Structure formats: structure tokens, C-alpha cells
Structure 1
């Protein structure tokens, strides 16, 4: 099955207690800050070779929040977190298909 280009293209990202990602196909996905931060797959958080999780979730504050972010090409989002972490890239396809999220209709 061919991948729909619109399904993974992002129209807007904003923050108001959760991360909102609005895709061009109309999907509006909401992501919990703590779940995103503890789900980071960068080399500091997950072993590059074995895939073993290196990040101890208990070290991430429950009140974690983004302090800055930037798009990485057309495929992902890099977030600077309030705990000082900022090397992870959240791939839009993975966010849409694999990360736990809630959906909201776009009015």
C-alpha cells in the first residue's frame, strides 16, 4: 500500500500543556509532554546498537515541558526540553503511527 504524502505532512505544531500536531490531511494529534520526552529515541536515550533503553524514566520530571523546538526538514521535530535534553528528533511518521496520542477534530 502506498504511503499517503498528506498523512505525514505537518501543517502546524503548537504547545498548550500538550504538543499539538496538525497534519495536512486534517488529523489533529495531541501528545503528552512526559510521554514524548521519555519516548525519545536519540543515542543518549537508546543504545545505538542494542536498542536498549538508556534513559531512566524516573529521572524525567513530571512537569517536563518544551522550551523551544524546530522542524528538521519535512520529516520531524526537534524539541529542547526543560530538563536540558534536546538531541532527539521526533519523526512525523512515527508520531502519527506509533506514539500514543489523542486525536481531536480540526474545526
Structure 2
């Protein structure tokens, strides 16, 4: 999934929000960007070895609980998302999160992402 902009220079998030029951996480980035992350997108692209295996490109894996219970800081580069079924082995780097952004400006320039997002339930 390629996003717009240079994700290698992704700024740090200023605030992360995931209101209970909302099925979406929001990130306010240091450069003023407001990112939107549907839980289905985050869970489906969980970067852990259990979900993705040990090699090859990251892929969307269907299934899993979509209730986001907690967001835990991992160093100064990532967060761990804790899901309602106890799954918590995925460490989402800020760079990866910026690339996954589903806001209209990020999705608009990426036909693959736009096509994928059309298949998931609205948030």
C-alpha cells in the first residue's frame, strides 16, 4: 500500500484517539495531518509474525476482533494495539501507520487503497 507523501520522513503523532465503539482510530500528526484508521484496516494489516508470517510482503488478513482495547507506546517509534480478543503482538511503527492512513487526501491518490477501502464496512 503506498500513501501520498514520503513516509520515510513521517512525523511523530501528537495525539492518538480510539473512542470505544467508534471502530476508528484517529491520529493527529506533527505536520498537521489528521489520519483516519478504520479498525478493520488496522487489524487486517497487523504486522505481527502470527498474522503475516516471517517473510514476504505484508498482506491483509481477514478476521479477528475489531474492539480496540488499548494503545500502548513502544519506544519512540511505534505503538502496540491491544484488541478485544487479547491479540497484542503487532507493533505498528509510525511510518507504517502513516502509510496505512485512510483519510481522503491519502486515499485519493492511491487507486489500490481506494479500491480496498470500498470493500470494508463504513466507520
Unaligned runs of 5+ in 2: 1-5, 106-123
- SS of match in other structure, 1:41: coil
Query: Residue 12 of structure 1: which of 7, 10, 15 is its match?
Result: 15
Q: TM (normalized to structure 2)?
A: 0.67
Residue in 2 aligned with 1:43? 49
Q: 1:93 aligned to 2:92?
A: no
Greater RCO structure (CA 8 Å; 6+ sep): 2
The size of the alignment, in residue pairs, is 96
Higher strand share: 1
Matches within 5 A, 1:32-71: 32-51=38-57, 56-57=61-62, 59-61=63-65, 64-71=66-73
The one-character-per-residue Cα deviations of 1:39-89 (angstroms, maximum 9, x if unpaired) are 101111011134575x851x324xx12111111112111010012210001
> After TM superposition, where is structure 1 displaced by more than 2 Å over at least 4 residues in a row?
49-53
Instruction: Say which structure is richer in helix.
Output: 2
With normalisation by structure 1, the TM-score equals 0.75
Shift in CA distance, 52/35, structure 1 to aligned 2, threshold 3 Å: closer
**Structure 1 counterpart SS, 2:50:** coil
CA RMSD of aligned residues (A): 2.5
